[in-house]
Every structure is written in structure tokens, then in C-alpha cells.
Chains A and B, each alone.
Chain A
Amino acid sequence: MAKKVFFDKLPSCYAGKILKIDLTNKTTSVIPTEKYANDYVGGRAMANRIYWDEVKDGNVPALSAENTLIYMTGPLAGTGLPYSGRAIMTGISAKNIPEQYTHSSCGGYFGAVLKWAGYDGFVLTGKADSLTYVVIDDDKISFEDASDLKGMYVIDTQEKLFDKYGRKSSALVIGPAGENLCRHASIVTHADSAFAMPGYGAVWGYKNLKAVVARGTGTVAPMDLEKTLEIHAWRDTPEKGRPYPPEYSETVKLGDFEGASEPHYKTFNSCNPGCNHICMISRSCVTNPLNPAGDKVTMVGKCMDLYGSIMRTDNDYPKGSYIDFPRQSEPGKYLWQVPILCDEEDPLKDEYLDIYPGNLLNMWGPNAEFGDMMMWCCNQYGLDKWDIAFWLFTWIYQCQLEGLFQEEGIDFGRPIDFNDPQFTKHILESMTYRTGPMGDLLAEGVGRMIRALGKEKFGDTIRHGITNRDGEERLTPVSWETSWGECSHWQGRGFQGCEKHVWVSMNILHMIGSRDEANGAHSHDHYENYLQYKDDPCHHPLMVEAAVCNIRRNEMKDSLLLCEYKDPDPGRPNMELDMYKAALGVKDITLDDIDHLADRGKIIERAIFMRDHGRTRDMEVAQVYPWMTFPDPWGDTVTWDEWNDLVDLFYKNRKWDLETGWPTREAWEEVELDDIAEFFAEQGKIPTANPDYVRKPDPFGK
């Protein structure tokens, strides 16, 4: 079947070329963006298709010359529309377990600058013979010796490159963690915008790639300027359109907890050109934790930074933020306190706004010095903040609480002390530089370290002392690992104890992905639907529809690209469609078309999983099921049959085979991917409906 044609000529929001960079041979070539733009929009969907076409065998180690990394902007980057610098990176993850194809998204200015240099993205292959950085200076591409950047911190590297290429250039860089192949290493741009979770920083380190610098003199333009102006103006509500002077403060706050801090100024910063959301809270004039005698610094703050200082309580859980407005992205919005919109006359208003207090986690803080050290080490070494704050340090805390290190004589080279910022520094230094008794293990990432130490003891031992909302003890493991070697994220246990319908929906997303999918999607649905499935979410088709809606939003957000922190918005439920129209100037496109494009992009990811990593139903169900057998804050769990009943409903909705999880021919043809259907037909991987499918017994014996 022919794909729908949205435009005949490549719209001006695209730069027009995708650069192929071969680090081994120091050569480049070009893929025309036009080849993919109509059918795959940009960002993740386009990267998935390029990966499918360019990489014939992706079953390679993450740390190998053969691992192909794709960086893609979307049509929004550089146009002035909000989030105008966001981009995606795909390739084999160094951190996730097992290593496999995944994705990460990132803000910053690099995406826009790259487009002004003439490229919508780049495909990176090979390995340089020594530490190198690549300069994309309009049409001039050069491979530069990076020996003078070796070992340099993330911010210092970027500043040095600014000195050389000017402050209108932009760079993606790695820090010492990436150079030393730490599997939690990130690739960073600007102030703390990072491709962090999949450990792509280690892949760059392996490839001897310290940085990619872009500088350009070209242009891009949204096709519909009027609509672009309207969307930008719509953001400027009276509440936002006011001065934001620095505010003097001597405390850091999180929920009910407030801790002393050195005096500082609270300010806001943007992480994207054209973005008029005022969401990044910074603390200025703070002592540089890694150089107390040096200049005072400004620390960009997001939720992780706050939890670095305070891991005392779980998020409060506002009911309405999850269950209204089908195309919005909560709970991200709640995290930075945008009020939930609802009609004053709405009879369900009180229910929407009903807020459950968080679980008491009772770990550390409030201690700003401790948090600042944790976050600044991550900023400068180039480490993933999420895994460090929510997984590594909570794991150390909980193992210590249960006496596991003492029992096995595990020594980190410094006494564990959650009131001592130097302890944090020591752990992150050991991880980054592979020093001290645990350095090499820490650098392998928390998941692999736990397996090396013995997962049964160091992963699965039950931690005591967390209380639920009724004050009763909740029992969860010392490691908050869930699926694909990731840390729990809006999954009802560990941090963020949400209700069953939320974590059930989230686990569908995690199950069919290869990473923590809450980077780009959270669970949300109409309140009316929630009322129908809340008592038994695993057996209701509306639950499946909510999951499908979330998957589509996630895919399109990562393809245009929008920001999960802000969009879609309750006040603008069709934001993806509006953004597409503004950037591409296409009038004849509907929400159904947007969903269709999202489905096409997403299913190619599944094709890659099947081709390169042997993805099956058994494999993905086994990833998410065990975590759901621990009680959530209400004591809810799922049984093997309950979860598999929901998987059956979801697979049927997607037209995937119940036994293998492989899409049927109909599923491929529905999104006009006949070529991929043919590929799998030759492999014998086009299943037909199997009425005799018999569910396997619970392999975990839960």
C-alpha cells in the first residue's frame, strides 16, 4: 500500500542532509533527508528507519567500532518553536542489560546549530585511532586531534571549544567518565542537557570521540510563520510574561522537607533555543564542589538535583494529574507545580485534586552539600544523574541498612557516610576513573556490578523501613532495578509509588521498549476511562487503548521533537499536530495521520529488536513481570495470569502474535512497511494467528 504524501518538496524546516561520519577512515558522506522526511518525520522514527537501512547486523557489542550511533534532530529544531534544539540518539546501549538497540533524547542548542550548519543529523560509525573531535563547520568537516581535551571535564571541554570556535558554535562532548568507558557515562551539551541513560558516553569513549562541534551560517524556517508565532505567543501567558529576578535563598526545598543551604540566588534558565517555558530552576553563586577555592558556580536544577539533596520521601501523588487530558504528559508537569487545570464546576474537581502523600523513604538529607557534590560530579565527569541519584546511591544506602556490605566485607575505600559530600565524591571518582577497590565494578554500571557481586544477595534482599501511606511497612528489594537493566521510574515501587493503573500502563511501554520509557511518556488518560478500569486494569480494553495512546505520544514527541517536561499540554491537547503543521506547513494532516506516523516509527524499532536481538514475548514479559510482584503503596501486585491477560489484549490490539510477540503481516502492511514484512517472511518470522496458543507457566514461581 502506498504511503500518504504530505509534501512534494522538502519543507524549509529541514536542513536537507544527514551526515555519515566514518571515524575509522576519517571520511564522510551524505544521505538526503528527503529520502525519509515524508514517511518518518524526524528524530526517533527517522533514526529507526535509517538504522534499519544502514545497519545490516546490529547484534554487536555496545563498545565496538561496529556500533552505529545515529543523532537526529526533528523538524522543529532551529525553527523558533519551543524546544527548538531537542534531538535523539539511537544505537546499542552500553548500560542496559542486555546490550541492545535503544534511544535517548536531549535538549540544548546543538540541534539548532547543526541544522544551521546544513545537517539534520549524523550517523556515526567506526573508531578513531586516537582521541578525536569532529568539527562540522558548514560544508567543511574535519577530524581534529583531541589530545589537549583528554581528561577534561564536560563544562571545561565545551568552554575550550567555545574559545576556539566562538560562542555561536555548539558541541556535544563526553567527560572523563566516557573516556574511561564507564557505562553510566553521558554525552552532554550546554549546561546539563544530556544523552544519559543508555551510556552512549562510553560508546563515544570507546570510539575515541571526545566531541562533535557544529558551527553554521545557514538557515532553517518554519513553513507556517503565522502558526509558529501563534504557538510561541500562546506560551506567553500573563503568568509567564513577567520578570524573573534572582531570588535570595538559604534553603533547598522538596515537598515538606526543607534543608539549609549556603546562601544562593534562585534563577531560571532555558535549555533550548526558542523555548519560552520557564522550567529549569538554577542556583547561582554556589561554591564549586570540585573547586571550593575557585569561582562560585550556577547549578542547573531539575528533579534529580533536588533528590540528590533529599531522598527522604517519595513524590506526592496527585490523582488528577495522571488521569485527565489524554494527550498530556503528566506527572512531569506536576513535578514543577503547574496547576492542574479543571473546571470549577466540575463535579469531579475534588477527586482530580486529591493528593496522596508520598511514602517515607528515609534515606538522606536534606543536605544541600551532599546533593551539590553528587550533581556537580555528574555534570563535570559526564555521568547520568538519574541512575546515580535514584539507583546507585539508594542501592548503597539500602545495602548498608541491611548490613550486606559488612557481611561480605565489601569496602568502597572510604567509610559510607550519607552526611559527607566527600563520600559522594569518592564513589563517583572511583566510578569515573576506575580507582579504588570498587572502581572497575562501579564503572561497569549498577546492574552489572550487582550481578558480579551476586544478584540474589545484592539485588534481591528485601530492604526494611519504608512505610506506605497508611504507615505500614512496605517491602521492596535493595536494588530498584526493573526492566532492561534500568531503575524503576513511575513503576509503583521504589521511588514514585503510583497506583496500579499507572504502573500497569507504564510497564506495557517498558516491556515493548528496551529502556526506561518514562523519558518521553508517562501514563495518562481520560478520567472517565479510569473510572471504568481502575478496579481491574489488566482486563479492560480501555487500559490497552491508554497504553497505545501513550506509546504514540512518546514516539511522536521524540520524532518532532517535543519536550516531555512540557508537552503535550492540557491546554493544547493536539500539540503534536499543531507543531507539525507549524513547522512543515502541511494543511492536510489529521490526528489519525499523526498516530499512523507514530505507529510506523515505533514498529520499526520492534523490527530492529527482532532482527538484531531475537526479541520474543517470553523475553519481554520476563523483563517487567518480577518488579510488579512486589507490593505498591496500596499493597497491589499482579499475578502471572493477570499480567499475561493484559499482554494478550495489548498484542491483539497491535495485531501481534500471542505466542512470539511478532507482528503479523497485517500489522506491517497497516503501516505500509511491506519491505520489512518481506524481510521477516524470508526469516520465517511472519506468524499467523495461532488459536492453539497455550500460555506458559510462571517461570518465576511467584
Chain B
Amino acid sequence: MKYDHIVQYPDEYSHCIGCSSCELFCALVHDGVTGPCHGGIKVELGRLDQLRHKVYVCEHCEDHPCYEACPKKDKAMCVDENGTVYINEEACIGCGLCAKKCKLTPSRITMDKKNRKAHKCDLCRTRQGGPQCIKECPVVCLGLASDPLPYDPKTLGGVK
């Protein structure tokens, strides 16, 4: 079984404009700052002559190797009853083993080496209103894998 996670909808449904609002506001609501070493979702800007951007975020794998690798398992790296893998940052020692063991490329764990902390998507599990990244995306190119597409693709009809 695959647990719920954030997905980037296919380009044909909505074209990511590369604004990185998801990345910035994820970092802001979790850590109160912006910066490449914060937040659990990352936008990789596409080639400048193509402009097809990719969003990378934790898929909350069933076997969650990041959790298994954590030397402070269940204190720093935790899994809740919904299968959401999250980090309790107070207990995190920033060893980086979780980031190394992530089976996705690039690793979906963001390392803040200065402060020796790891960051990853926790689906905003304690925030009302669901994941902030989905909320901030101006073109609805992010959603939850479990949810149906919020708009009927047949009626979209391209850019107005």
C-alpha cells in the first residue's frame, strides 16, 4: 500500500509556473524562514529554454527507509497512524542518515547542515486546512495523491 502524499499534477493538467511558492511557504510555516536548507518540498527549475519545472517531495513510502535509518527512531523520525513520516526536529541530531537512505532521487530529505537538522514533508499534519504548498500554488499543479483532480480536465480547455 502507498500512503498519501503530495503529487505534482501532469503538465497537461496544469503547467507549473516555477514560482516556488510551495517551497517558500512550506519553509515559512514550518521553520519561520525561507532558504534552500529549509522546507520539505523543492522545486527544480527546468532548463531556461524549456521552462518545464519539477516538484520533488516525500512520497511517504510504505517501507520508509528514512525512518528505519534514523538512530533516534520514534523520537526524531516518526510515523503516525496514517503512515505519514515526519521529523520531530527537537530530537533530530542532523546525522543525515535519513537523507542518505531515501530511495528517491534527489533525496526528499532537506539537510540543514549549519543547524544540524533534517527537514521533510509532514503533509502539514498538525496544521488546519491541509498542506500549505497546495494552498499557495497559484495554478493548482499540486494535490494529494488520494484526492480526485479538483477540476475536470475535460472542461479546462487550455489557457484562457
Q: Which A residues have a C-beta under 8 Å from some C-beta of B?
A: 12, 78-80, 84, 109, 112, 116, 155, 158-159, 167-168, 190-191, 216-222, 225, 228-229, 232-233, 235-236, 240-248, 266-270, 272-278, 280-282, 284, 288, 295, 297-298, 300
Contacts and interface: CB of A to CB of B under 8 A. Distances in A.
B51 A191 contact: yes
Given A242-B140, A247-B159, A295 B24 contact: no
A78 B34 contact: yes
B138 interface: yes
Contacts of A282: 51
Contacts of A155: 48-49
B9 to A, nearest CB: 7
Given A190-B48, A235-B138, A270 B17 contact: yes
Interface stretch (B37-45, B67-75, B77-85, B93-101): B37-45
B49 A295 contact: yes
Contacts of B31: 219
Contacts of A233: 135-136
A120 to B, nearest CB: 14
Contacts of B37: 217, 219
A79 B158 contact: no
A6 B143 CA distance: 41
Nearest to B150: A243
Interface string B26-64: 001101111111100000110111111000000000000
A268 B160 CA distance: 11
B29 to A, nearest CB: 8
A298 B21 contact: no
A216 B25 contact: no
Contact of B159 (A79, A116, A190, A246): A246
Nearest to B111: A217
A276 B140 CA distance: 11
A276 B113 contact: no
Interface residues of B, number: 48
A244 B15 contact: yes
Nearest to A12: B33
Contacts of A220: 33-35
B51 to A, nearest CB: 4
Contacts of A248: 158
A237 B158 CA distance: 19
Contacts of A268: 15, 17, 139, 159
A267 B159 contact: yes
A270 B36 contact: no
A246 B139 CA distance: 12
Given A240-B138, A274-B21, A278-B138, A245 B33 contact: no
Nearest to B44: A167
B92 to A, nearest CB: 17
B65 interface: no
B36 A116 contact: yes
A216 to B, nearest CB: 7
Contacts of A269: 17-18, 51
Which of A80, A222, A300 has the most CB atoms of chain B within a 10 A radius of its CB? Answer: A80
Interface string B3-19: 00000010111110111
A268 B151 CA distance: 18
Interface of A is mostly: loop
Contacts of B157: 247
Nearest to A279: B17
A245 B138 contact: no
Nearest to B32: A221
Nearest to A240: B138
B141 interface: yes
A225 B38 CA distance: 16
16 contacts: A78-B34, A80-B24, A116-B35, A155-B48, A190-B45, A219-B38, A225-B29, A233-B136, A240-B139, A241-B138, A244-B17, A245-B14, A245-B15, A268-B15, A273-B20, A298-B52
B1 interface: no
Nearest to A379: B49
B68 to A, nearest CB: 27
A300 B32 CA distance: 33
Contacts of B135: 233
B159 to A, nearest CB: 4
A511 B114 CA distance: 50
Contact of A191 (B24, B48, B112, B140): B48
A297 B14 contact: no
Given A272-B19, A273-B24, A245 B32 contact: no
A59 B12 CA distance: 55
B51 A276 contact: no
Contact of A274 (B19, B33, B139): B19
A455 B112 CA distance: 60
Contacts of B51: 191, 267, 269, 282, 284, 298, 300
Contact of A245 (B35, B114, B150, B156): B156
Q: Which of A79, A233, A244, A267 has the most CB of B within 10 A?
A: A244
A274 B9 CA distance: 19
B146 to A, nearest CB: 18
A244 B159 contact: yes
Nearest to A244: B139
Contacts of B20: 109, 270, 273-274
A269 B28 CA distance: 23
A276 B136 contact: yes
B119 to A, nearest CB: 12
Contacts of A275: 19, 21
A158 B151 CA distance: 36
Contact of A266 (B14, B50, B52, B159): B159
B9 A243 contact: yes
B31 to A, nearest CB: 8
Contacts of A274: 19-21, 24-25
Interface in B113-150: 113-114, 135-136, 138-141, 150
Given A274-B19, A275-B19, A247 B136 contact: no
